[in-house]
Amino acid sequence: MKNFDLIVVGGGPGGIFAAITAAEKGFKVALLEKNKRIGNKILVAGSGKCNLTHTGKPKDFLDKYGDSGKFLKEALNKFSPDKLKEFFADNGLPLVLIEESGKFFPATFSSVDVVNLLKETLIRLNVQIVESFKIEEILKMGDEFHIVSDKEEYRAKNVLLATGGKSYPGVGTTGDGYVFAKSLGHKIVPPQPALAPIYVKEYAFEELSGISFQDVKITFWKENRKLIEKIGSVLLTHTNFSGPGILDNSRYVQSETSLEINYIGLEYEVFNKDIIESINEDGKKTIKKYLLKYSLPERFVKKILKISEIQEDIKLSELSKIKREELAKMLTSNKMEISKVGNFEMAMVTKGGVSLEEVNSKTMESKKVKGLYFAGEILDIDGDTGGYNIQGACSMGVLAAKSMTK
């Protein structure tokens, strides 16, 4: 039997930063990871280049987590994006900003370098890293937690659950943490895929894979009620809609939800008025040439005209009112019924998890079990793409460690 001040369950960003912070404060810490190595989720971040955070102050981050951003206010203030950048700079791996995206990456653009640095830091601080450790159960006995496996038992007065969600099962995330949290009395909001592509019925753009649209209006509807309206980038793939604007807002998809996309940035009435004026001014211009003035990809223009059953070389003056209005609707308010959101294999994060109502946002400690803390994706909070999820997890881990070591 081994005794510690803190046992961290899960070797992702939240767990690692909690372990580092607690060890720096003098705690005896064990980090338990069921996979063969810690940091698996970090390794796939930013397609292996490791997007760790985003530009902006803590207050700028709060609206990047759906309706739950206010839960992170204390954590982001305690361990801000600037402090995360400072940590890596102080340890010899400065972060660099990609101006056009606002994303920060390690200077080497290597997630392997990030994981190696974090592991070296843990070892230097005498954190006991136990990999390939499969937990059978977590028990609270008196003022101690007992972590039981088929090999041995660990004990501690504090436990941090940072096991992640159910997204990217290929890196070992299977939702084990939900089982542990539930066994300790916590309510679990049903996990769902988030930061995932969206599938629609009768998807029409299979052959246009790779075409993207920047800063288009994306609206989600449930029957005739608008759920959310956002501006973002959209990517067409062989089978679905993707891109940051779609991924970030997939969290809002409910049953019987529709997706509406405005591809050209003009409202229906404005576009319709413009095309009428163009008919009067230059009616001999072809409809294809007219549409290309909106900087739409030519392949997309051809496809839209085909769907609308309009000949590419038809002159504006020959376009019927019915076809003109149909085309205007297709380009400015193309509403499609959503069939599903990509599954956990495709999702970058998980929506759902341990209910935030049962966790103290000022300490990350359970409101139900003294000494039990949470950090990261195990909680019912998910961020946009761009480094927000890793930053959030790190901030929560640091806040939890600082709270328990006061």
pLDDT category of residue 215 using cuts at 50, 70 and 90: very high
Residue ranges, CATH 3.50.50.60, the chain: 2-193+346-404
- Distances from the Cα of 381 to the Cαs of 68, 339, 366, 374, in angstroms? 6, 24, 15, 12
Q: With beta carbons less than 8 A apart as the criterion, state whether 233 and 226 touch.
A: no
What lies within 8 Å, CB to CB, of 289 at 6+ separation is none
Q: Give the predicted TM-score (pTM) of the model.
A: 0.92
User: How does pLDDT run across 315-365, given as a tens digit for each residue?
Assistant: 999 999 999 999 999 999 999 999 999 999 999 999 999 999 999 999 999
309 CB-contact burial (10 Å; exposed 0-12 / middle 13-18 / buried 19+): exposed
pLDDT category of residue 42 using cuts at 50, 70 and 90: very high
Rounded to a whole number, what is the distance in angstroms from the first to the last CA of the chain?
26
Question: Per-residue pLDDT averaged across 108-117, rounded?
Answer: 98
Which pLDDT score, from 0 to 100, does residue 336 have? Answer: 97
Output DSSP code: residue 379. B
Question: Per-residue pLDDT averaged across 38-47, rounded?
Answer: 93
The partner residues of 220 in beta bridges, in order of sequence, read 228, 259
Which pLDDT score, from 0 to 100, does residue 172 have? Answer: 79
Nearest to 6 by CA among 165, 119, 126, 136: 126
Output DSSP code: residue 309. T
Mean pLDDT across the chain = 96
User: How does pLDDT run across 70-91, given as a tens digit for each residue?
Assistant: 999 999 999 999 999 999 999 9
Query: What is the percent of the chain where pLDDT is above 70?
Result: 100
Which pLDDT score, from 0 to 100, does residue 178 have? Answer: 97
pLDDT category of residue 25 using cuts at 50, 70 and 90: very high
Measured CA to CA, the distance from residue 128 to residue 321 in angstroms comes to 73
Measured CA to CA, the distance from residue 268 to residue 332 in angstroms comes to 6
Residue 203: CA count within 13 A, CB half-sphere: 19
Question: Per-residue pLDDT averaged across 135-142, rounded?
Answer: 96
Nearest to 348 by CA among 243, 260, 237: 243
User: How does pLDDT run across 140-171, given as a tens digit for each residue?
Assistant: 999 999 999 988 999 999 999 999 999 988 78
pLDDT category of residue 118 using cuts at 50, 70 and 90: very high
Domain at 2-193+346-404: CATH code: 3.50.50.60
Which pLDDT score, from 0 to 100, does residue 171 have? Answer: 81
User: How does pLDDT run across 331-341, given as a tens digit for each residue?
Assistant: 999 999 999 99
CA 296 to chain centre: 28
φ and ψ at residue 78, rounded to 5 degrees:
-75, -40
User: How does pLDDT run across 229-246, given as a tens digit for each residue?
Assistant: 999 999 999 999 999 999
User: How does pLDDT run across 174-204, given as a tens digit for each residue?
Assistant: 889 999 999 999 999 999 999 999 999 999 9
Q: With beta carbons less than 8 A apart as the criterion, state whether 260 and 219 touch.
A: yes
Which pLDDT score, from 0 to 100, does residue 340 have? Answer: 96
Residue with tokens 């080497």: 108
Measured CA to CA, the distance from residue 341 to residue 124 in angstroms comes to 43
- Distances from the Cα of 350 to the Cαs of 168, 243, 316, 342, 378, in angstroms? 9, 17, 48, 12, 8
Which pLDDT score, from 0 to 100, does residue 211 have? Answer: 97
CB neighbours of residue 281 within 10 Å: 9
Which pLDDT score, from 0 to 100, does residue 173 have? Answer: 82
